[in-house]
Chains A and B, each alone.
Chain A
Amino acid sequence: MFDIFVIPFCLGVLALLVISVIKYYNWIKGFDRRQQMLVRKNILSWKFVPAIWEMIRECLLHWRITKHNVLLGYMHRSLAFGWFLLIAVGAVQAAVAFPGGHHLYMAIFFNYFEPRTPDMAHTHAMDTIATVMDVLLLYVFSGLSLAILKKLWSKPLGMKRTTRHNVTDRVAKFALWCIFPLRLLAEGATSAIYHNGGFLVAGLGSVMESIGLDNGILEYNLWLLYSLALGVFFTLMPFTRYMHIFTEVFLIYFRQLGLRDSDKKNGYTLFELSACSRCGICIDGCPINRELGVTDIQGVYLLQAIRNKDVLNKANDIANMCMVCGRCSTECPVGIDLEPIRRQVRNEQVSSIDHPDGYQYLKSVHHFNAVGRVAYFGGCMSHLTPGITEAMEKIFMAAGQSYWFMDKEGTMCCGRPLMQQGMVRQAEALRDLNKRVIKKSNATMLVTSCPICYQTFVKDYKLNIPVIHHSQYIDMLINEGRIKVKNGGQRVTYHDPCELGRGCGVYDEPRHVVASAANLVATEEEREKSLCCGYNLGNIHIDSEQQKLIRDAALRNLLAPNPDMIATACPMCKKAMTRGSDIPVSDIAEIVACNLVDS
């Protein structure tokens, strides 16, 4: 059985298959050596089990989107999972109806090719499957109507602003939206003639029959249109955002195998670029959008600009305007880590000045007076807020801990500010110098007061001693009973620094510390949803007035519960917020140092 109308569909599937295979092959070939090694090492391990679970949870059930907004999750789930089930049940239906085997298109256009001998057409099994197919089609329609609602009014679906799509994306979306109504209409027309299908299709068929349409001609043309819609959608898929449907599956697998972004754009980055579904969830949280009204630099537009190579300059501008506060990455339902991708773009841009020979002078600066087992690294910013370093010294002494204040005389930067601007080689030079000093000191633990330093110490330094932030250190001292703290009775709200919270996942320890020395009050946007203080070193393009706008938004959130004091765990956040706040802003170390009890 063959009919000429199936050709657009078949060509579409063929195009999709060939282009996808070529793309994926080239991307996998483009992995760097470390990534290839990880794939080879882990490909035969048990890691495929969590990968398959994550694929089902995210690609079909869209769990992370559901957590963002229930209705939005339902919309994506009904389209993805609903369509998946339609295909799966459709395959069963065709297998039952054609026991002798069949072509792919006969399953897709089943109602047209359905064998209509009396013994086949109305068996119990076939009736049940037809009913199930109609229920599934209704399920998809419910999602489709939500998608149309979202286009007109996105607020009920938890999105203030949605993505502005380019032309090819819009054409593909139109084709996708046409697929399901056309399918129902075509099945209805067939049912009007042959009286097959489930309750929905048969119902539509009897309506179409009763209003006296020429269903013979209508039927053929509707099936042709359905085939065309499928063909157009499948052909456009590899070039549009809908490539995410398959790419996300691969990305999840590779991520479970342990692959991460490298410094340069490579095959893994290409998987990430295509795995972005351009859902636009990253837009609403972005402080640059919320406070400055800049709506074209968010993650979705960055990935789109890099993917469409022709607008590389645009990608540069987009990458530069970001604060790198990490809010978008925590909200991304695909789990794309945007910071390394921005760094790759920035690195390309500044590669001409990224030479690390300027730091020779640092080789001779450190006088080793390392006496303590614990090395304390204040960081550049803590030197602007000496209250923090003084408080830390007081706490070290109260705990009877011998310590070595590594950068008391002068700070060697940790290198992360350079990393954020894409100067990877320069940052590496600073890392090497710092590592040498730390190694030579024979310290057994590194405590730092600056979350910026903490993040790079943990993620990039690969030191063989534990590195902890002072919030964790103080929490440890309190838990071990080495220092005693009284509750000062003040009402305090806590500001999560981007680098400590979203950057390193340290949310609880600073809260324990605050709660032991004061009364901690929760705020509306905290933890993963914490707002950037505006002075983040990730952006060198916004001016001080814009920084103030972002800071004021963070302050509004912190001041809403009418606290007596704002606590934070980052010298830079403290410095930024002190300037705009009427009530005192303190680091948690300072609060603890004020409330120490002599034991």
Chain B
Amino acid sequence: MNKFGFKISTPRSIDLDNGDRRLYDELVATVPSYRYCIGCGGCTATCSAGQFTDFNIRKTHFLFSRRQYDKLSTELLPEADLNKCMLCGKCSLVCPRGVNTRGLIVEMRMLLNNK
């Protein structure tokens, strides 16, 4: 019936006011440079784990800042699986905004684990 070559997308708007700010606030408190991120994706481009998989730090950053913590589980989004990170630190070195990406990943893992 509906073979138009396209489909109707479900609305994907995210109301930041509805999210749980607690984890986000905690992350910003421990790694203040998190807020400087401009989403350029340099970290993801250089990522050692990203060379072998579709692991995507940028995406993880975004999901976290949009309070979509539930999406950050291994099953739903393999590319946001922080366990793949080898903590080599290339991402921190290439970041043009001086975000402490490496510290951010450890803190995110801690926060998500203790959620």
Interface size on B, residues (CB 8 A): 29
Q: Chain B contacts of A413 at CB under 8 A?
A: 48, 86-88
Query: Are A540 and B100 within 8 A (Cβ)?
Result: yes
User: Distance in Å from the Cβ of B20 to the closest Cβ of chain A?
Assistant: 20
Complex interface: stretch among B1-9, B10-18, B62-70, B103-111: B103-111
User: B27-51: which have CB < 8 Å to A?
Assistant: 32-33, 46, 48-49, 51
Q: Which residue from B33, B46, B98, B102 sits with its C-beta under 8 Å from A537? A: B102
Q: Which residue from A410, A423, A545, A575 sits with its C-beta under 8 Å from B48? A: A410
Query: Are A544 and B52 within 8 A (Cβ)?
Result: no
Q: Which residue from B85, B87, B98, B110 sits with its C-beta under 8 Å from A544? A: B98
Q: Chain A contacts of B85 at CB under 8 A?
A: 358
Nearest CB to that of B104 among chain A residues?
A540
Query: Are B90 and A544 within 8 A (Cβ)?
Result: no
Q: Chain A contacts of B53 at CB under 8 A?
A: 361
Query: Are B48 and A411 within 8 A (Cβ)?
Result: yes
Q: Chain A contacts of B102 at CB under 8 A?
A: 417, 537, 540
Given A361-B53, A365-B52, A544-B98, A417–B93 Cβ distance below 8 Å?
Answer: no
Query: Are A417 and B87 within 8 A (Cβ)?
Result: yes
Nearest CB to that of A411 among chain B residues?
B48
Which residues of A does B touch, CB under 8 Å? Answer: 350, 352-353, 355, 357-359, 361-362, 365, 380-381, 383-384, 409-413, 415, 417-418, 421, 423, 426, 430, 535, 537, 540-545, 572, 575-576
Given A350-B106, A381-B93, A413-B48, A359–B86 Cβ distance below 8 Å?
Answer: yes
A355→B28 CA distance, assembly (Å): 25
Nearest CB to that of B30 among chain A residues?
A541
Nearest CB to that of A413 among chain B residues?
B86
Interface of B is mostly: helix
Query: Are A537 and B113 within 8 A (Cβ)?
Result: no
User: Distance in Å from the Cβ of A452 to the closest Cβ of chain B?
Assistant: 9
Q: Chain B contacts of A417 at CB under 8 A?
A: 86-89, 102
A-B pairs, top 5 by smallest CB distance, nearest first, are A358-B83, A544-B98, A410-B51, A540-B103, A413-B86
Nearest CB to that of A540 among chain B residues?
B103
**Contacts A381-B89, A417-B88 supplied; 19 other A-B pairs, CB < 8 Å:** A353-B110, A358-B85, A359-B84, A361-B49, A361-B84, A365-B52, A380-B48, A383-B48, A384-B94, A410-B51, A411-B48, A412-B86, A421-B106, A537-B102, A540-B103, A540-B106, A543-B33, A543-B98, A576-B93
Residue pairs across A and B with Cβ atoms less than 8 A apart, 28 shown, are A353-B109, A357-B83, A358-B81, A358-B85, A361-B53, A380-B48, A380-B86, A380-B88, A380-B89, A381-B88, A383-B48, A383-B90, A384-B94, A410-B51, A417-B87, A418-B87, A537-B87, A537-B88, A540-B106, A541-B103, A543-B33, A543-B98, A544-B33, A544-B100, A545-B98, A572-B93, A575-B93, A576-B93
Query: Are B32 and A543 within 8 A (Cβ)?
Result: yes
A576→B87 CA distance, assembly (Å): 18
Nearest CB to that of A366 among chain B residues?
B52
Which residues of B does A touch, CB under 8 Å? Answer: 32-33, 46, 48-49, 51-53, 81-90, 93-94, 98, 100, 102-103, 106, 109-110, 113-114
User: Distance in Å from the Cβ of A205 to the closest Cβ of chain B?
Assistant: 66
A383→B94 CA distance, assembly (Å): 11
A358→B94 CA distance, assembly (Å): 24
Query: Are B87 and A352 within 8 A (Cβ)?
Result: no
A421→B33 CA distance, assembly (Å): 19
A426→B90 CA distance, assembly (Å): 18
Query: Are A410 and B52 within 8 A (Cβ)?
Result: yes
Query: Are B90 and A380 within 8 A (Cβ)?
Result: yes
Query: Are B46 and A412 within 8 A (Cβ)?
Result: no
User: Distance in Å from the Cβ of A488 to the closest Cβ of chain B?
Assistant: 28
Query: Are B32 and A421 within 8 A (Cβ)?
Result: no
Q: Which residue from A353, A357, A381 sits with its C-beta under 8 Å from B90? A: A381
Query: Are A350 and B98 within 8 A (Cβ)?
Result: no
Among B46, B87, B106, the one with the most A-chain Cβ atoms within 10 Å of its Cβ is B87
Q: Chain B contacts of A411 at CB under 8 A?
A: 48, 51, 88
Q: Chain B contacts of A535 at CB under 8 A?
A: 93
A410→B47 CA distance, assembly (Å): 10
User: Distance in Å from the Cβ of B52 to the closest Cβ of chain A?
Assistant: 5
A430→B102 CA distance, assembly (Å): 18
Nearest CB to that of B95 among chain A residues?
A544
User: Distance in Å from the Cβ of B86 to the closest Cβ of chain A?
Assistant: 4
Q: Chain A contacts of B98 at CB under 8 A?
A: 543-545
A418→B105 CA distance, assembly (Å): 12
Among B33, B84, B89, B103, the one with the most A-chain Cβ atoms within 10 Å of its Cβ is B89
Q: Which residue from B46, B82, B100, B103 sits with its C-beta under 8 Å from A384? A: B46
Query: Are A352 and B110 within 8 A (Cβ)?
Result: yes
A426→B85 CA distance, assembly (Å): 10
A397→B70 CA distance, assembly (Å): 52
Q: Which residue from A362, A418, A537, A576 sits with its C-beta under 8 Å from B52? A: A362
Nearest CB to that of B51 among chain A residues?
A410
Query: Are B89 and A537 within 8 A (Cβ)?
Result: yes
Query: Are B48 and A412 within 8 A (Cβ)?
Result: yes
Query: Are A418 and B86 within 8 A (Cβ)?
Result: yes
A578→B51 CA distance, assembly (Å): 26
Query: Are A361 and B103 within 8 A (Cβ)?
Result: no
Nearest CB to that of A385 among chain B residues?
B93
